[in-house]
Amino acid sequence: MAHGSQNLVSEGTTAVTKHSPLRLLTHSAMSCARRCLRQYFYRYELALRSRRDAAALRLGAAVHKGLELWSKGATPEAAILAATEGYAVCPAWADLYDWQIEREIVANLLAGYFWRYGTDTLEYVEVEKSWEMPLINPASGRESRTYQLAGKRDGLVRAGDGRLSVLERKTTGDDIGPDSDYWLRLRCDQQISLYTLSALHDGHDVSGVLYDVLRKPTIRPRQIPLLDETGLKVVVDEQTGERMFNKDGKPRQSAGAGMKLATRPETPDEFGARLLADIEERPDYYFQRREVPRLEDDLQAFRLECWQQAQMLSDCRRWGRWFRNVGRNTCSFCEYSRLCLQSITVDLEAPPGGFEIVSDVHPELSEGEES
């Protein structure tokens, strides 16, 4: 690679895309660069990807697929079936029980969402629309000859009063209560500005973004007490496993010192039913919607940020320098941490174990892929 590459890679390469002769700046790419430029280098310059989907990303993609199909007119049953089809076979590297629990989370989050919003009056004007638009130099007004903005909108929706909004759906593990920091951060969220600009560029008179959030459950599978043939709990000695009785000869129903309650894991079906009941009892905990406006000042500030980020990436590429952002909140969740922190050289002809070189670094823009 020109000007060296800090011994990160044995041969140079360029970002791979099927969508444009220009380099694409998507929300995902820009977020990755802001998080850690070294991570961006691995992901978008080398096109290096882990062969295993992270659980959070896999679950979010499955939920997104179900929501997309439902927005296009599929029945709730058909949407859930399609969203969970990837869980039909448990891969060799996954734990079967955890895999089945994850499937229940996807299925019941969707079932709860369809129950909550099944009678809303939103008109889906557009669903899953890929777009590209020029990156403009804010000083000269000229289009970049290197970069182009791109993405995929979840949708455009029209409210009952006729207002048109960009629809953005998210799954998150964060608190989404009305007073949480989650909504405060959206005031400065780049994705909202990016998708608003894209809709305006495509000729849609949007007023802002309708942010539609699903919270992943915090409840977990639990242990179920074993019952005997008469319906009584079984308490056993921790050492011998023998059943324990009171002085009157009746089976104990609570564990004392040196004892334990005999239990079994909750089945996936039982967990799914309990999750759905929890969703029905407190839907606001799991689902929130909020309109997020974007003023012209917000959009102009975002235009400047996009240009600045493009210049930063060009500088990194020019000098072959992609510095790390080392920290618990970055490295702990980075698929490349093993390579990066040990300064392992990447051979593009023989990628490290568990990794592959992909043909397209922006698969989310392809037809049928989730954003």
State the angle between helix axes of 190-201 and 27-35 in degrees (0 to 180), rounded to the nearest 10. 150
Position 370 confidence tier, pLDDT thresholds 50, 70, 90: very low
Q: Residue 130: enclosing H or E segment and its boundaries? A: strand 123-136
What's the CATH fold of domain 23-219+272-365? Answer: Lambda Exonuclease; Chain A (3.90.320)
SS3 state at 235: strand
Q: Concatenated DSSP letters for 349-371?
A: TSPPTTEEE-S-S-GGGSTT---
What are the start-end ranges of the H helices in 45-202? Answer: 55-71, 76-83, 96-117, 181-185, 190-201
pLDDT of residue 14: 45
State the angle between helix axes of 55-71 and 96-117 in degrees (0 to 180), rounded to the nearest 10. 30
Give yes or no for residue 98 having a pLDDT over 80. Answer: yes
pLDDT of residue 364: 81
152-189 pLDDT per residue, tens: 999 999 998 999 999 999 999 999 998 899 998 888 88
Extents of the domains making up the chain: 23-219+272-365, 223-265
Contacts of 20 (CB under 8 A, 6+ apart): 132, 148, 150
Q: What average pLDDT does the segment 35-43 reach?
A: 95
pLDDT of residue 5: 44
190-208 pLDDT per residue, tens: 888 999 999 999 999 998 8
Cα–Cα dist 220/266, whole Å: 10
Q: Has this prediction a pTM greater than 0.75? A: yes
Task: Look over the chain and give the mean of its residue pLDDT values, rounded to a whole number.
Answer: 89
230-259 pLDDT per residue, tens: 888 998 988 888 998 998 889 999 888 888
State the angle between helix axes of 27-35 and 296-319 in degrees (0 to 180), rounded to the nearest 10. 60
Cα–Cα dist 196/205, whole Å: 9
3-state secondary structure string, 245-293? ECCCCCECCCCCCCEEECEEECCHHHHHHHHHHHHHHCHHHHEEEEEEE
Torsion angle of C-alpha atoms 115, 120, 126, 132, degrees rounded to 10: -80
User: How remote is the C-alpha of 45 from its chain's centroid?
Assistant: 22
* CB neighbour class for 119 (10 Å; exposed up to 12, middle 13-18, buried from 19): exposed
Contact at 8 Å (CB) between 221 and 266? yes
Q: Residue 319: enclosing H or E segment and its boundaries? A: helix 296-319
Which tokens in the block code for residue 217?
């459950």
Give yes or no for residue 88 having a pLDDT over 50. Answer: yes
Longest C-alpha distance within the chain, in Å?
Answer: 91
